[in-house]
Amino acid sequence: MKKTQSLMLLYPKKRKTVEEIKQENIEETYFDRDELEEFLTATIKYGLKYDKERFFAMAFIGLRPGELCALQKKDLLFENDEIDINKTIYSETNSITGYELTPPKTYGSIRVIPVERFIMDMLKKVVHDNDKHKMKYRKLIPDYHDKDFVFAHENGYPFLTITMRNRMRRILKKTNIKKECLSAYVPAYTY
């Protein structure tokens, strides 16, 4: 549904025809094998803190950006090499303090998924680093947000999906990949 600003009326979005869908360039929505390798190599070389862990998790697990940003320590089932996907993050104003945790896109998106050991090892290190940081700074940082987000700012608040998009665009500039659609969903759709 689409809202108009002046009247706040809801209008249904125009449904695409089969012909319109067939004309879309689906290759723009995911990386092919070579592009994925180039992107992940650039992520390792040029990425900022935890970009490698974020984008590897999205590419190898199929996590959507909101699902990744909403991950909390309790969602990582290390003993079984699984992740419990049960929420997504939303912030209408892109403010880290004004976020909401909401159910995923569909009921079918709520799932427990097996994860390769090397990804779980990456995430375990992130959690370990977070725990060390929290023990050292939770009393020193005013308004420390102690919700155990896997990917959190120094003050404990979660990263938002806009950060994923910006970080992805930053890394893509260092590659030869020329995709028109620079959505942060590309690594997840590659899965």
pLDDT digits (tens, 9 = 90+) for 102-148: 998 788 889 999 999 999 999 999 999 999 999 999 889 988 999 99
Domain coordinates in residue numbering, the chain: 27-190
Q: Give 27-190's CATH code, choosing from 1.10.443.10, 3.40.50.300, 1.10.8.870, 2.40.50.140.
A: 1.10.443.10
3-class SS at 11?
strand
Q: Chain-wide mean pLDDT for the chain?
A: 85
pLDDT at 152 over 80: yes
Provide the pLDDT for residue 11: 47
3-class SS at 163?
helix
3-class SS at 172?
helix
Residue 43, judged by CB atoms within 10 A of its CB (0-12, 13-18, 19+), counts as buried
User: Distance (Å, rounded) from C-alpha 60 to C-alpha 40?
Assistant: 11
More confident residue, 6 or 14: 14
The pLDDT > 70 percentage for the chain reads 79
pLDDT at 10 over 60: no
